[in-house]
Homo-oligomer: A and B are copies of this chain.
Amino acid sequence: MFTDAFETFLRGHCTPADVRAIEAGASHQPLWEALSGSGFLELMAAEEAGGAWLDLAGVLPMLSALGYHSVPLPAGQAIALRSLLPSEWEVPDGLPTFAPAALVQTDGSLLAPRVPFGLLAEQVLAQWDGVLWLLDAQAAQRRSCGIAHDASADLQWDAAHLPRHARRVADCCGASTLVAWGAALHAALLAGALTRSFELTLQYGNERSQFGRSIGKFQAIQHQLAVMAEHVAAARMAVACAFPAHQRVPALLPAAMAKARCSEAAGLVASIAHAVHGAIGITEEYDLQLSTRRLHAWRLAHGAETHWHGVVGAALLEQADTTVADFVRELQEA
């Protein structure tokens, strides 16, 4: 029920034209206010705080829809934030984001490298030394680290100002909670962008003619679309396994698998999508780039498959006498 309503909301408020305008520098405030006003950002909040106390399975379709529609704002982080803040907290205003890592430098400053939406964010959730902190992004130096409308940035807080701008959220959450959420969220976003890239490519294959017939009739194109479908299906399934019902915070290993599987598919799907589309696909005016730019950015965000495969593999190797099938099954039946 939320899903259909959210789809309708995004089709109305976040069209490809809206995405392009915000990416080109138009104010994001109208969209953000519409999102905030819609109540969708509160879905994971407690009912007494105006939320719906949704579990992971319930919220997944909304997160994937953000990826599908290339929403250029950290709405996913805002939704997930509600599952991480203590219930007695008032959710802070403004655009939030998650820091993939936070490193205390030798001069005492704090560096958060490659923060998604780092150029726009007003609040950054970050974890170091086993504590979850909420940082004021507006007190940080920001250095863009993307190209062409990618809002990711390195954020750095001076040692002197850090105490004033960091608010201790909790010790209570598990050591890997934020890490798992960052991975799971970007896996869900990738699932949406993968689906959209595939739809555009399939549609193009069916509609575009060349050498006197639709290109989808060529065996080579059919095979590429079949392979694409396989990888999108696998990626979506991996994501679904990381968003089970009755849980409100992703577990590390399923999130690791989801992010790994989606990141791996991202490179392949972007490559096939562009190969099938030909030159039209790399133009700004055609919508494919809205999705494939994000496939590349999100493949990297919070760690690519190279990182997460290593996490999964180390965990499996640690478990003496566990077969790979048992390892997988126990995660899926947990």
Contact = CB atoms under 8 A, between A and B. Distances in A.
Oligomeric state, in copies: 2
Interface string A210-221: 000000001110
Interface residues on A, range: under 10
Nearest to A221: B219
A161 interface: no
Contacts of A223: 220
Interface in A283-309: none
A262 to B, nearest CB: 26
Question: What's the dominant secondary structure at chain A's contact region?
Answer: helix
Contacts of A219: 218-220
Contacts of A218: 219
Nearest to A223: B220
Interface in A210-259: 218-220, 223
Nearest to A220: B219
A218 B222 CA distance: 13
A220 B219 CA distance: 6
A220 B220 CA distance: 6
A309 B219 CA distance: 35
Interface in A180-223: 218-220, 223
5 contacts: A218-B219, A219-B219, A219-B220, A220-B220, A220-B223
The list of the 5 closest CB pairs from A to B, nearest first, reads A219-B219, A219-B220, A220-B223, A218-B219, A220-B220
